[in-house]
Structure 1
Amino acid sequence: MKRWTAPFAAAACAIGLVATAGSAGATTDDPLREDLWGLDQVHAEQAWSAGRGEGAVVAVIDTGVDLGHPDLAGRLVPGADFVCGEQAGSCGDGGWKGQDGVGQESDVHGTHVAGTIAAVADNGIGVAGVAPDAKIMPIKVLEDGSGTNEDIAEGVRHAADNGADVINLSLGGLPGTQLFSILGLDTTMQDAIQYARDKGTLTVAAAGNTSTLLCSDPAFSSDSICVGATDRNELKSYFSELPVKLSGKGVAAPGGSGRLLGGDCSEDILSTVPRGTGTDECGEGTDYAAFAGTSMATPHVAGVAAILYAQGRSMTNVEEAILSTSRHPLLGIRGGYSALYGRGIVDAEAAVAYPRD
């Protein structure tokens, strides 16, 4: 039985916030907006005049979500828990503490991902998501940061069967596990993602954090968009896998620096964490923290996908819009291809202007 993990944040994780001079042109009243440089890099606010994701649902298939977080209020739809031991089907509501009621340190991950996608904007607290009017479907498939491919596949199918437009998989296996799918030894995840795709649900999946040349699985072998990470300066994050897969469906998005060269965590991705598990260094209480990883890059893409779905687009058109309008920061081209960035850094402003089907 193959196990999957969510160390795509832990491999380069910075917890502790320092407010700095930040994003020019920030327009929300969220106190931490100046440090949300990821929103600026993907041109999220410039896309909001075309919609902020209202009506779209993103399934966060991960470690569960803090269902009572004030910055996610009104943004959650019913979830599920597939970390159920021998019990078949769901045994819970997608809360991060799971069936034993104990919040593991690594299980703050899913709440961070959810906030990057859809934290409420203009509510006077905390942060804002890429698609702040979208809904999150919390699906817990990992406990203490790891889980089985069978549980994750169940979560994927549940999301597709219950109205998710987008599936966010900020998780994956170690380098080399692609061989299981390539050789046909284990296609559980690949089949589940195809099942979701056949229902019109787009999957975005993290490339991985071990600096190898290919997307990790499930991003590599499945029909999904593989997401690599960039830092604040639009350079490839040192830890990120290259967003390379045979189909060419790879992009880049803000994932942070991991503080490799020092500095503070304003270089990483600031988002929600379960209440009381963050730090108070930024003066905003303990409900927020900054992490780095392709786990943090992936929800930026999921948020852009949610904005596009809310425009009434089909799955194929959403995917085409993301891939065709992503920009190469060094070459100044869109929709081309490079090993460092795949099709480029996702661009919400350009994507919402892409022709609809």
Structure 2
Amino acid sequence: MRALRRTVALAGATALVALVASASPATAATNDTLRSKQWGLTQVRAEQAWSTSRGAGAVIAVVDTGVDLTHPDLAAKLVPGGTFVGCSGSASCGDGNWKGVDGVGQDVDAHGTHVAGIAAAITNNETGVAGVAPDARIMPVKVLEDGSGNTADIANGIRWSADHGADVINLSLGSLPGTQVLSIAGLDTEIEQAIDYARTKGALSVIAAGNTSTIACTSPGFSSTGLCVGSTDKNELHSAFSELPIKPDLKVVSAPGGFGFGGCDDDVWSTVPTGAASGCGVGGYDAFAGTSMATPHVAGVAALLLAQGRTVAQAEKALTTTARTPVLGMRGTFTPLYGYGVVDAQAAVASAR
């Protein structure tokens, strides 16, 4: 075990109690009961892409705090998962359940269930929320307990996901600002190496930029070959809490992550474990804010692309070249606030391969 090892934590998921109903309802094309609150789904133009691709055959690994395996908006979408935190070795010792090996679910560990719902919740089932990739499957991989973990467990989870058929690996997690120097100096590169390995297996890693308002993606987003994701609010403005989506190879985009300082409908609604507390007062669902929420929007669009038979490189190119910069109206043009822009599912699936 290396003496220098980063502690990695969730890339922000703050539940906010609604004080005012400030969000404009989204146009609901599905019958999911909370669809009108899902402005993020509208912002990435997911529904307009579904006539071309719905993600069938693609698997999104949610490498996170685990998932509620019995949630009615997720259970039918799950493939077998794994647990790597709390195990005695590097092998999986569980099935990706959010409660972990001790059978106890901490409130903060609702995070992975929320991420999973954004990416690929069951859609048009008259229940809860719609997912960005409605026909993709979800692989629950628990690498964090009580909201944090270490690089070895996360790396093991990434490699396992790639070995078990994941097409997209969602990493809504990150280290503290400044710890990029560890991986740059070669002192702690386990996660980065695992992301490289996953890429050789045909899996695209999508990574949260972080929520401490600094000028670059945190690690592993900064220092890996994965795609780093910054956050936008419901008005398509860069979220104040989000890192600027900047990294050396400029593989960065933005997606809906919420406001973080307003009411529930200013943030991102999705699934939380059944029976867990909901700050927004809807059982099994809650609204969180963070680049953690932006990341699965991109993971879902990536699944739509990979389901078309594109390679990882082709999917990345489609995501970056078709992303749009708000206000300016440019596509595929890098800016410090948005990277290559807000992902656009409709344009991405229609782009040349």
TM range (shorter): over 0.9
Stretches of structure 2 that go unaligned for 5 or more consecutive residues are none
The secondary structure found in structure 1 opposite 2:51 is helix
Matched residue, 1:151: 153
- Supply the distance in 2 between the matched residues of 1:281 and 1:257 (Cα, whole angstroms): 15
Indicate if the aligned counterparts of 2:60 and 2:136 stay in contact, CA closer than 8 A. yes
- Supply the distance in 2 between the matched residues of 1:201 and 1:148 (Cα, whole angstroms): 22
The counterpart of 1:342, out of the listed 333, 339, 343, is 339
Stretches of structure 1 that go unaligned for 5 or more consecutive residues are none
Q: Deviations over 1:160-194 (max 9, x none)?
A: 10110000000000000100011111111111100
Determine whether 1:196 maps to 2:193.
no
The counterpart of 1:8, out of the listed 2, 12, 18, is 12
Deviation at 1:279, TM superposition (A): 3.0
- Supply the distance in 1 between the matched residues of 2:41 and 2:351 (Cα, whole angstroms): 19
Determine whether 1:82 maps to 2:73.
no
Q: Return closer, same or farther for 1:323/1:50 CA change in 2, 3 Å cut-off.
A: same
The secondary structure found in structure 2 opposite 1:167 is strand
TM-score normalised to structure 2 length: 0.96
Query: Any residues of structure 2 matched to 1:104-123 within 5 Å, and which?
Result: 104-123=106-125
Query: Any residues of structure 2 matched to 1:242-321 within 5 Å, and which?
Result: 242-259=244-261, 262=262, 264-279=263-278, 285-321=282-318
Q: Which amino acid in structure 1 is aligned with residue 314 of structure 2? A: N
Q: Deviations over 1:255-311 (max 9, x none)?
A: 00002xx4x2100000000001143856xx410000000000000000000011111
- Supply the distance in 2 between the matched residues of 1:24 and 1:279 (Cα, whole angstroms): 22
CA RMSD of aligned residues (A): 1.5
Indicate if the aligned counterparts of 1:23 and 1:40 stay in contact, CA closer than 8 A. no
Deviation at 1:7, TM superposition (A): 4.5
Indicate if the aligned counterparts of 1:280 and 1:286 stay in contact, CA closer than 8 A. no
- Supply the distance in 2 between the matched residues of 1:144 and 1:25 (Cα, whole angstroms): 36
Indicate if the aligned counterparts of 2:90 and 2:156 stay in contact, CA closer than 8 A. no
Matched residue, 1:210: 212
Q: Return closer, same or farther for 1:245/1:190 CA change in 2, 3 Å cut-off.
A: same
Determine whether 1:351 maps to 2:348.
yes
The secondary structure found in structure 2 opposite 1:74 is helix
Q: Which amino acid in structure 2 is aligned with residue 315 of structure 1? A: V
Q: Deviations over 1:88-124 (max 9, x none)?
A: 3000000000000000111000000000001111101
Deviation at 1:22, TM superposition (A): 4.0
Deviation at 1:2, TM superposition (A): 2.0
Deviation at 1:19, TM superposition (A): 6.7
Matched residue, 1:126: 128
Deviation at 1:52, TM superposition (A): 1.1
Q: Which amino acid in structure 1 is aligned with residue 8 of structure 2? A: W
Q: Which amino acid in structure 2 is aligned with residue 27 of structure 1? A: A
The counterpart of 2:167, out of the listed 154, 165, 168, is 165
Matched residue, 2:101: 99
- Supply the distance in 1 between the matched residues of 2:249 and 2:287 (Cα, whole angstroms): 32
Deviation at 1:87, TM superposition (A): 3.0
Greater shift, 1-10 or 182-191, is seen at: 1-10
- Supply the distance in 2 between the matched residues of 1:104 and 1:212 (Cα, whole angstroms): 29
- Supply the distance in 2 between the matched residues of 1:24 and 1:127 (Cα, whole angstroms): 12
Greater shift, 307-316 or 18-27, is seen at: 18-27
- Supply the distance in 1 between the matched residues of 2:335 and 2:171 (Cα, whole angstroms): 23
TM-score normalised to structure 1 length: 0.95
Indicate if the aligned counterparts of 1:58 and 1:302 stay in contact, CA closer than 8 A. yes
How many pairs does the alignment contain?
A: 349
Q: Deviations over 1:60-84 (max 9, x none)?
A: 0000000000001311000000013
The secondary structure found in structure 1 opposite 2:149 is strand
